[in-house]
Amino acid sequence: MDSWATQTELIELAPRRHTILIVDDEPSNIRALGEILKADYRILVAPTGLEALRTVEATIPDLVLLDIMMPVMDGFTVYRHLKEKPEFNHVPIIFVTSSADIENETKALADGAVDFISKPLSPPVVRARVKVHLALKDRNDELVRLVSVDSLTGIANRRAFDNALAMEWQRAWRVRAPLVIAMIDIDHFKLYNDCYGHQAGDECLRMVAVALKDQASRGSDVVARYGGEEFSAILPGCSTDNMAELAERMRASISDLAIPHAASPTSGVATISIGMACLALSCDGTAYPQAAEAARAGASRLVNSADQALYQAKKMGRNCAVCVTEPMADFR
């Protein structure tokens, strides 16, 4: 049985940092591309467009080699579905075309593909074009990283938080998974700065950022500096049962730092207040809000729910957490 053409899996023949997804219904084409690239990259294969869409739900590749002429779902249709996913915005897609098919080559580039590779395949050309586009992606990813990191704390900034929230909101609705947003404030931080000075305040912010990131450490979690002394976190897949436990771990991790705060009316050490809101799973067939404006409004509402929970935590005396649940059905 031809493993190249029958398995949609990660083939770690020679593990590398980059992963390439090959989408083609012809076993010979998958085999040929795989043999050309397997020495330098990890290879993911999908023999149909539908399998490709299923595959990227689990693993986002660094580059896609996409055949145009496929039955049921052609390459252009697959391309459109992939680019509907926000997390796919920066993934280069190279169309694979027949050498004489100028019309399809033109359409591929017009639709936004970064390049095309003609059949019959030339191994040096395939390797060169793949290498160039992966290098360009690396540079682009680094630029995105630089503008997405808070310079003081080294964690994600507000821009990165907003971008990640847009992606995780859509993913939560698409796969019916819970999503938790946390809003976190350092208690009486102005008094801390007044007492110890801004340099000490900066160090306090850095220590709190590291501790929070240590608690929300899954690959999908995002901890960000939201502004000033306020932090935020995006916790995909965190259920209503788990969020209270995580909130308490976050709260305790900051108290355990034992950062002196003689001016705090709450405690002798720096503490945090936390508000968490969970978008809970729906069992009633609630439709996914396709309109971009509706999606943005829904994500903003979940953040507001977490912010209101944070406000309640402060009213309760600070150094505590308040967790709320928002059913999916309420976000129609």
Is 9 in a helix, a strand, or coil? Answer: coil
Asked if residue 260 lies in contact with residue 201, where contact means CB atoms within 8 angstroms, the answer is no
Query: Omega of the bond prior to 178 within 30 degrees of 0, cis?
Result: no
pTM: 0.68
CATH 3.30.70.270 residue spans of the chain: 158-331
Q: What is the pLDDT of residues 276-327, one digit of tens each?
A: 999 886 544 455 555 455 556 788 999 999 999 999 999 999 999 999 998 7
Tell which CATH architecture fits domain 3-146.
Answer: 3-Layer(aba) Sandwich (3.40)
Residue 129 confidence (pLDDT): 94
CATH 3.40.50.2300 residue spans of the chain: 3-146
Residue 112 confidence (pLDDT): 79
Catalytic residues: 229
CATH for the stretch 158-331: 3.30.70.270
Helix (H) or strand (E) holding 143: helix 123-146
Q: Which of 189, 191, 194, 257 lies closest to 229 in space, CA to CA? A: 189
Q: What count of Cα atoms within 13 Å lies in the side-chain half-sphere of residue 286? A: 18
Residue 226: how many other CB atoms lie within 10 Å: 21
Query: Which regions of the chain are under pLDDT 50?
Result: 1-16, 283-285, 291
Q: What count of Cα atoms within 13 Å lies in the side-chain half-sphere of residue 172? A: 29
Residue 141 confidence (pLDDT): 86
Residue 8 confidence (pLDDT): 43
Helix (H) or strand (E) holding 323: strand 321-327
Q: Which two tokens stand for residue 105?
A: 């080559």
Chain-centre distance for alpha carbon 52? 19
DSSP 232-278: EEEEET--HHHHHHHHHHHHHHHHTT--B-TT-SS-SB--EEEEEEE
Residue 267 confidence (pLDDT): 95
